[in-house]
Every structure is written in structure tokens, then in C-alpha cells.
Amino acid sequence: MGFSVSGSAAIIFIGLLVATGIAVPPLIGSFGSLAGAQGQQVDRGIDALNTEFGVWRATYDSTDDRLALELNNTGSTTLSINETNVLLDGVIPTPQNVTTDIAGDGATDLWLPGETLDITVANVDTKPTRVKIVTENGVARTENEITDI
């Protein structure tokens, strides 16, 4: 092999090393981000599997136009009250009309396992036929039996 062939092979080899040195760090970063995202997805799935709650009571007071719900967190996941949504016949009520409390504490955002969450929706003109509660991780319960008081 002559000098020109060896020299050009060395230049190509050095070029490949430089190109690899430029391309590898972003790829490693991308794989790290992908692995982190997959880990978060698994964590969310585990939280959803460990989330369980039930509607103990749903009552409608036509005199005060008020709907009262009692929900019990029977799972092992701590839930966020602010990220728990109520739908009345498929419509989300105005946030100003919804109050929440756990054992008299209306300021807490944590709904711990074993606790009862009381939700009151004011200014409900007509008795809803269906109430749906959706938690932060997508677990939902629907109640069709709403008692008049």
C-alpha cells in the first residue's frame, strides 16, 4: 500500500472518529430522556392501578340547589383534590361553585388513603341524572343514583 492510500485511509478514519464524537453525545442524551419518560409512564400506570375510590353518597337538595358527594379513597395512592374533577351530566361545574373538604379541612389538597372527601356543588338548578368523578390519573367513577333530600 502506498503513502497516498495509507494517508487517505488515515484521514477517513480520523473523520469517522470526529463524526462519531459529534453524533454520540446527543444520542446518549436522547436515550436517557427516553428511558426517563418510560419510567414516568410506568410510575403513572402503577399509580392508576393503585387508585381506588368509591362514591358513598350522592344527595341533591332542591331547596338550596346543592349537590353533596361523599367519596372514600380505598386505594393506596394519595390523590390531589385540586386535580379531581366532577362532571354533572357531562358538564364541569364552575370552580367557584365547588367546595371540598376532608374532615372539616377545606384547605388541604391531599386526599390520603382511607379518608373521606366531601364535595359540595352549589347552584345546581336541576337534579343531575349522572355524576362522574375523575382523578388526576384518569381513574373515574360514575354515580347514577342521586338521592333527594
Could you read off the pLDDT tens digit of each residue along the chain, which spans 149 residues? 556 777 788 888 888 888 888 888 887 777 778 888 888 888 888 888 889 999 999 999 999 999 999 999 999 999 999 999 999 999 999 999 999 999 888 889 999 999 999 999 999 999 999 999 999 989 999 999 888 88
Q: Are 76 and 54 in contact (CB under 8 A)?
A: no
The residue extents of the domains of the chain are: 1-49, 53-148
Q: Which architecture, in CATH terms, is 53-148?
A: Sandwich (2.60)
- Region of 60 please: left (phi>0), alpha (psi -120 to 50) or beta: beta
